[in-house]
Amino acid sequence: NAGVMQNPRHLVRRRGQEARLRCSPMKGHSHVYWYRQLPEEGLKFMVYLQKENIIDESGMPKERFSAEFPKEGPSILRIQQVVRGDSAAYFCASSATVAGDSPLHFGNGTRLTVT
């Protein structure tokens, strides 16, 4: 039973380019979450999605960032016109249900470096 799969593991982009991060949740999980981890900090919630719906995007920056979880295929976190401050590790997590007793299962993350 494969866990949460994220790719790529490492991504290097120049300032102004676009970054696309992919996440395939665990089999049977329909709830996907994106978190960002800055150096020496904990994880900060960004967005929570279910299939074809954004449920909570209260942690997403207002500009340049977007997320989707289509009916078919992985969830995508998209960062347009990247800046150096976007350099971080981006983690995806999935859960089976929305109930509080359904823990999050994390992927190994995508480490984005903006040069």
Partner 1 sequence: AQSVTQPDIHITVSEGASLELRCNYSYGATPYLFWYVQSPGQGLQLLLKYFSGDTLVQGIKGFEAEFKRSQSSFNLRKPSVHWSDAAEYFCAVGPPAGTASKLTFGTGTRLQVTL
Q: Which is nearer to partner 1, 55 or 83 (CB)?
A: 55
Residues 79-108 interacting with partner 1 (rule: CB under 8 A): 91, 93, 95, 98-108
Interface with partner 1: number of residues (CB under 8 A) = 29
What residues between 49 and 78 interact with partner 1 by CB under 8 A?
A: 55-56
Q: Which two tokens stand for residue 50?
A: 């279910």
Contact 36, 89 (CB under 8 A): yes
End-to-end CA distance of the chain: 37
Cβ proximity to partner 1: between 14 and 28 the closer is: 28
Two tokens, residue 85: 């401050």
| 3-state SS, one letter per residue, for 43-63 | EEEEEEEECCEEEECCCCCCC
Residues that bind partner 1 (CB under 8 A): 4, 6, 31, 33, 35, 40-45, 48, 55-56, 91, 93, 95, 98-109
